[in-house]
Amino acid sequence: MKQEDEMSLNLLFLHGLGCGGDTISMLNAEQPDIVSFFRGVGVKLLWHHTLSVKEGSKVTDLFRDILDGKIQLDILLLEGAVPAERNSHSLGGRSFTRWCMDLANVSEYTVAMGTCASFGGIPAVRGNTTGATGLQFEKEVSGGLLGSDYRSRAGLPVINLPGCPAHPDWVLETLHLIANGKLSETDLNDVNMPLHFYNSLAHHGCPRNEFYEFKSSAREYGQMGCLFEFLGCRGTQCESDCNNRLWLGRTGSCTRGGFPCIACTSKDFPHEGSRFFETELIGDVPKFLPRDVPKAWYIGITGLSKMATPERLKANAVSPHRIHTPKNRKGD
């Protein structure tokens, strides 16, 4: 980036409308931790809303130095949605929304951390009195704050890292790819999410997949069966590698903890008009089917699967622990 210090990347965090959960998630990074990562990659943290001691005019002076070209901005990273300018708070006589727009226009790379920054998320639900939006998308509609045609100085659109929160690896590995010149627009999907993390489903790697395959389902939380048929799991629709890239000490995920996936990386999260933790049915068929599975196929597959379900799975599915193990049939 800079000839005088090739290993120094200036990183600026901004915080919009959101809970701060993405920062908490990032601070839980391990192997490496966030401090070791910044040192190893050569990231210089210009300012972070909760980690830095600068406040007031010192912060807005920093912003102005960036806009005036006195300080190069390599990566602008936003957490939280952005309100409409008429509803935005003011920083140094300029609205937060305007700061976001102006800083994005001089940044080499612009990254949206979390679903709120990427697509509007919870602040942009129906009603949306603040006019909240993501940086380059509002839900599934391209545009957002910066517009569909926005490109950073490096020629990329906003790099979206949705999740509620985003996994710390998604953030750090994206920064690492940027630092090493390994991220191009062809590495992003149709809503600018890096394929490296979002090219599989949370369903993949779920330890309950055998129950799913035989449509052997839990009826209550705490039971071992699949959570899709009755308890609202959307892992078959959620683009993320959550069950392969585990969380919190590389030990868990939502479904591994007995909790249904709520597809928090989706551009329409939090799925307005739908209920969490309960599968909505049309007759006996879930309203939200697995990706790329036609309704007729799903009905046929389900019927055949249930006919072939081993008795051990039927019993284990509605039990809080394994009570039957696989056994060979007589004569095999």
Q: Domain locations in the chain?
A: 9-196, 200-332
> pLDDT, tens digit, for every residue of 72-102?
999 999 999 999 999 999 999 999 999 999 9
Superfamily name and number for 200-332: Cytochrome-c3 hydrogenase, C-terminal domain (4.10.480.10)
DSSP H helices, 209-250, are 209-213, 228-231
Q: Is the full-model pTM beyond 0.75? A: yes
Which backbone phi and psi does 149 adopt, to 5 degrees?
-90, 0
Looking at residues 208-214, what average pLDDT do you find?
Answer: 94
Which backbone phi and psi does 30 adopt, to 5 degrees?
-135, 155
Q: What is the mean pLDDT of the chain?
A: 92
| Beta strand ranges found along 104-248 (DSSP E) | 109-113, 137-138, 141-142, 159-161
Least confident of 190-194, 287-291, 309-313: 287-291
pLDDT of residue 178: 96
pLDDT of residue 287: 86
Question: At 139, which amino acid appears?
Answer: K
Looking at residues 208-212, what average pLDDT do you find?
Answer: 94
Using omega within 30 degrees of 0 as the cis cutoff, is the peptide bond preceding 260 cis? no
pLDDT of residue 251: 85
pLDDT of residue 104: 98
Looking at residues 157-181, what average pLDDT do you find?
Answer: 97
Q: Considering the domain 9-196 in this protein, what is its CATH number?
A: 3.40.50.700
pLDDT tier, 329 (very low <50, low <70, confident <90, very high otherwise): low
pLDDT of residue 303: 85
Query: What separation in angstroms does the CA of 113 have from each of 78, 196, 212, 261?
Result: 6, 15, 31, 19
Pairwise CA distance, residues 30 & 136, whole Å: 30
* Percent above pLDDT 70 for the chain: 96
Using omega within 30 degrees of 0 as the cis cutoff, is the peptide bond preceding 32 cis? yes
DSSP 50-109: TT----THHHHHHHHHHHTTSS---EEEEESBB--GGG--EETTEEHHHHHHHHHTT-SE
- Contact (CB, 8 A) for 94 and 157: no
DSSP H helices, the chain, are 21-27, 34-41, 57-67, 96-104, 115-119, 168-179, 195-198, 209-213, 228-231, 295-307, 311-317
> pLDDT, tens digit, for every residue of 15-42?
999 999 999 999 999 889 999 999 999 9
Q: Which two tokens stand for residue 321?
A: 């622990």
Pairwise CA distance, residues 134 & 137, whole Å: 5
pLDDT of residue 5: 46
Pairwise CA distance, residues 18 & 166, whole Å: 13
pLDDT of residue 331: 52
- Contact (CB, 8 A) for 161 and 112: yes
Least confident of 56-60, 120-124, 141-145, 327-331: 327-331
